[in-house]
Amino acid sequence: MQGLITTLIVALLAMVSAGETSAGEIAAAAQLARAIESAAQPLHAADVVVTGISDGDTAKVELDGRSVRLRLARIDAPEHQQPWGNRSEQSLRELVWKKLVHIEWREVDRHGRPIVSMTIDGRDVSTEQVRRGLAWVYRAYSLDPELIQLEERAREAKIGLWADPKPVPPWEWRKLKRASDTIQ
């Protein structure tokens, strides 16, 4: 698997240096390489009880005798200071707090949180947050066509955060906040 990843990266670099690719193709190839690298990691799974909710895409569980913060895969929910941030957190709390859930993960984020797929009673929690209009599909990490279609439906129906005429995705909001904090 490591050889396949290396081959993909070398091919991508060769295409870029030859000037034969568009920015979109480069981004898609980079995302594919990340997906392959992620798939090469061992799968971890557990049934756990959710003990806390931090926001619309972050929960705490007891895992192997210790409290662990988890990041939901494929989505990005509004930050607390953003419109709909508190409602997104409340939605996640309604779905999973103090309930038994199944989690699976292959990797951790830069904060050390496992990036998990979480299900409860057969329902994918990330999918439910998007369906409710309380999270964006995090396209830097997911191009799941079904999830993107659910987001489009929520947007068209003006459900949740899509009722706002110009909702700001959390990744853009964080970038603007960092720039603002730097200036001050």
Domains along the chain? 2-39 (no CATH), 44-166 (2.40.50.90)
| pLDDT tens digits for range 38-54 | 666 679 999 999 999 99
Instruction: Using pLDDT thresholds of 50, 70 and 90, give the confidence band for residue 183.
Output: confident
CB 142 within 8 A of CB 171: no
pTM of the model: 0.78
DSSP class of 39? H
Sequence-ordered list of residues with C-beta below 8 angstroms from that of 154, at least 6 positions apart, any chain: 130, 131, 132, 133, 160, 162
Q: Output the six-digit token pair for 79.
A: 């930050």
Distance CA 71, CA 39 (A): 18
Catalytic residues: 71, 79, 113
Instruction: Using pLDDT thresholds of 50, 70 and 90, give the confidence band for residue 16.
Output: low
Q: Indicate if the pLDDT at residue 184 is higher than 70.
A: no
Q: Indicate if the pLDDT at residue 1 is higher than 70.
A: no
Q: Indicate if the pLDDT at residue 60 is higher than 70.
A: yes
